Amino acid sequence: MLNNHGFDLWSDSYDDSVRHLDTKNQYPFAGYTNLMNAIYGTIMKQAPAKILDIGFGTALLTSKLYDAENTITSLDFSSEMLKIALSKMPAANLLQWNFNLGIPPALKGHLFDFIISTYALHHLTDCVKIDFIAALLNLLEPQGKILIGDVCFLSRNDLRLP
């Protein structure tokens, strides 16, 4: 798994990687555009919404939601991803934070209509992921929803296959 420096190095070519692998229907980004459209469509039915994005990357999805007048709060541990995202969403609340440490203190008392995370939470172990998602529930408005899109496998064995 990449650390924050690995993602810093990937940031400039990230969008090209996504486009290339999505077009070729290859791991890990096969289906990327369909997934983003599904999340975008779900949120836009309730726009304008307060959104928290976990692991925003280059903000491919979040910047579209930002442009559509939703209120964006986002976190990511890569300073280079953050620079790119900030250039697309200058008024968004972007936090540099490692989600292995749980919820950032800056989000205490904030509530969101949608918490989204795409291609990011697989960086957590299963145990930490469960605790993290449970903690996210405390940041939801009463009718709020968590929308997660990520790589997944039918079994542990499939995960181990090359």
Ligand X SMILES: C[S@@+](CC[C@H](N)C(=O)[O-])C[C@H]1O[C@@H](n2cnc3c(N)ncnc32)[C@H](O)[C@@H]1O
Radius of gyration of the chain (CA): 15
How many Cα atoms within 13 Å fall on the side-chain side of residue 21? Answer: 13
Question: Per DSSP, which regions of 62-139 are E strands?
Answer: 71-76, 93-96, 112-118
Q: Which stretch binds ligand X (CB under 6 A): 37-45, 72-80, 86-94, 106-114?
A: 72-80
Choice between 81 and 115, CB closer to ligand X: 81
CB of 4 to ligand X, least distance (A): 6
Residue 81 or 139 having the CB closest to ligand X: 81
Total of residues contacting ligand X (CB under 6 A): 16
Residue 29 has φ and ψ, to the nearest 5°, of -105, 15
**β-pairing, 93-96 with 112-118?**
unpaired
In terms of phi and psi (left: phi > 0; alpha: psi -120 to 50; beta: otherwise), the region of 112 is beta
Contact residue for ligand X among 42, 71, 93, 98 (CB under 6 A): 98
Figure out which of the listed residues 60, 94, 103, 148 binds ligand X, where binding follows CB under 6 A: 60
The residues that touch ligand X, with contacts defined as CB under 6 A, are: 7, 55-57, 60, 76-78, 81, 98-100, 118-120, 123
